[in-house]
Structure 1
Amino acid sequence: MKVTVCFGRTGIVVPCKDGQLRVRDLTQQALQRYRKAQEKVRASHHVSLSERVSCTNLP
């Protein structure tokens, strides 16, 4: 079984196995997954911005 937890417009899918996961544990796992996803988004924005800067500095 899977549950989708929404943070604004972002949905995070959390597997809860056979339904024995407590709501508290489910929310903690969803929050961890959301934070990881946000870190990846920030990292990809950082890379794309640095690539643009280095490309504009070429002769």
Structure 2
Amino acid sequence: MFTVREVALRLRVSKAAVYHLIHSHRLHAVRVGNARNSPWRISAESLNSFCKDD
């Protein structure tokens, strides 16, 4: 599982861009924890799928 920062570095985009992809449902991510401010995690499969689709 990758953090938003790690995905941003891999895709060479900003963290804000990754959050936008998550909120627009273009990149699947899950929250770790129950709180609204829990961190997002992106699986390797989700990242690979996103890279293949674009």
Q: Normalising by the residue count of structure 1, what TM-score does the alignment of the two structures yield?
A: 0.24
Which of structures 1 and 2 has the bigger CA Rg?
1
Which structure has the highest strand share of the two? 1
1 or 2 for the larger relative contact order (CA 8 Å, sep ≥6)?
2
The structure with the largest helix share of the pair is: 1
Please report the TM-score for the alignment, with normalisation by the length of structure 2.
0.25
